[in-house]
Structure 1
């Protein structure tokens, strides 16, 4: 795909999940993450789990990126900029899922919600968020909303193959 990897030694899942297409990753015994125990992590942008979410997102595994970041979001301090930032990325991942499903209205709704969270981040951690992503949260919000508005056509891929729908990548490798 030509996209950078932050954790090149970590194997991607065997398929990129889309709701209703293939086994549910966690609930179905045939799912790629069935029976996998959650990893104990800290809510940090320097964590391997955050970088794993970036790799998954950048390569079109949007449902899986959502899951990686949701674990961090759940343990982040309520009301913190980090928690809002993670929620914005989770909604951005949901936008990618909806675009891949061809669902324009939900994609636009998720992109707007992600954009609002990313634009409202307080200035103090803002520079750190920008340096980790390699893009400012405001620009990321603009790009997410523009992608959802344009609703890129899905390219033909083998069922379950990841398909990046965003023209940007998160983070530098």
Structure 2
């Protein structure tokens, strides 16, 4: 396991709560504060969320993106975008828990938000994700067709992602 990843991917009822339980992987960590949305798509906070998401740490990705969502009060487009990512991460948690209905609801809400973002002219989200918000909406909807049995991540091992796609920022030159 990479040393910068938590010791486990949090699942409610299966692991200690990361921040509230003294045994949690992020207990007494300093909270991340984001003051402005400017530069958020190239920030370490955003990229950390992508890294966590791509490696199956969905609750942790949600937590990484939440300060960005809170900071986006003045930008409706950013606010919709970050809320969509948070809901997609929540769908990942629900998929892993085997809660199909909740996973489908979160994924559908995320898809709807990504479609709203896609209606507004901007290529910055595509560069930040490696795909358009509209393409991510399609992926979010497809995420509800997950296998019946998912292997629980072994302690100390990186969990298997439940999604068939990855988020990958494009380089500035490409």
Q: Place the TM-score, normalised by the shorter chain, in its bin.
A: 0.7 to 0.9
Q: 1:156 to 1:38 in 2, by over 3 A?
A: closer
Unaligned runs of 5+ residues in structure 1 are 2-7
- The 3 A distance-change label for structure 1 pair 72 and 172 is closer
2:94 alignment partner in structure 1: 98
Change (3 A) 1:59 1:72: same
Residue 161 (structure 2) aligns with: 164
Match in the other structure for 1:140: 136
Give the CA RMSD over aligned residues.
2.0
Runs of 4+ with deviation above 4 angstroms: none
Deviation at 1:39, TM superposition (A): 2.5
| Contact 1:16/1:160 (<8 A) preserved | no
CA distance in 2, matches of 1:133, 1:35: 31
Q: Residue 47 of structure 2 is aligned with which of 51, 55, 77?
A: 51
Give structure 2 stretches of 5+ with no counterpart. none
Aligned residue for 1:94, secondary structure, equals: helix
Partner SS for 1:66: helix
Matched with 2:28 is 35
Q: CA deviation at 1:172?
A: 4.0
